[in-house]
Amino acid sequence: MHTRRRGSSGSDRPAAEDTPEWSDVDAETVEERVVELAEQGHGPSEIGVVLRDEGIQGTPVPDVRLVTGKKVTEILEEHDATPEIPRDLYDLMDRAVRLHDHMRENPTDYQNKRALQNTESKIRRLVDYYRGEELDEEFTYSPDRARDLL
């Protein structure tokens, strides 16, 4: 958005319609584990990675959607375990707080000053996008409020 770089290409996950034969976990167990990981503070993408790497009782879960028929975020919405602010906005606010701390220690670091301006611009754009549905109507971004939320 704020640079001239192009997007990075990567491999796509193979299109699969059924769970693999080697995965024998049931949907209820996966849903319970998803909610448990969300309560521990993991975001949806982290939950998918944990389930893929660690699995449930030693059996890896290749794809939550294939096993349960629902996405991780849909499972969290059903169990009222969604975070108070969306994960992408949370990550940008975290970055802005770290950049503010850095700028307080290094006031002449103009490259990171520009990075902070770009990050806060992205935050304001996302707040406008989420306001009303996932955020309160009165929600506004400020560095102090971001520090309190994190």
| Structure confidence at residue 102 (pLDDT) | 96
Same domain, 92 and 44: no
| Structure confidence at residue 18 (pLDDT) | 78
Report which DSSP code applies to 131.
B
| Structure confidence at residue 81 (pLDDT) | 79
| Structure confidence at residue 11 (pLDDT) | 75
Look at residue 103 and tell me if it is in a domain: yes
Helix H or strand E segment including 148:
helix 143-149
Which residues form the domain of 69?
27-78
DSSP per-residue letters across 58-97 = TB--S-HHHHHSS-HHHHHHHTT---SS-HHHHHHHHHHH
Q: pLDDT digit string (tens) for 32-75? A: 999 999 888 888 888 988 988 888 887 888 888 888 888 888 99
Number of domains the chain contains: 2
Q: What is the CATH number of the domain that holds 139?
A: 1.10.287
One pLDDT digit (tens) per residue for the chain, 150 residues? 676 677 777 777 777 777 777 778 888 888 999 999 988 888 888 898 898 888 888 788 888 888 888 888 899 889 887 888 888 899 999 999 999 999 999 999 999 999 999 999 999 999 999 988 888 888 889 988 888 887
| Structure confidence at residue 100 (pLDDT) | 95
Look at residue 41 and tell me if it is in a domain: yes
d(CA 88, CA 110): 25
Same domain, 95 and 139: yes
Please, are residues 98 and 61 in contact by the beta-carbon 8 Å criterion? no
Same domain, 74 and 93: no
- For residues 93-120, one letter each, b for 16 or more C-beta atoms within 10 angstroms of the residue's C-beta and e for the rest, the string is bebbbebbeebeeeeeeeeeeebbeebb
Phi-psi region of 83 (alpha: psi -120 to 50; beta: other; left: phi over 0): beta
| Structure confidence at residue 52 (pLDDT) | 86
pTM confidence score: 0.73
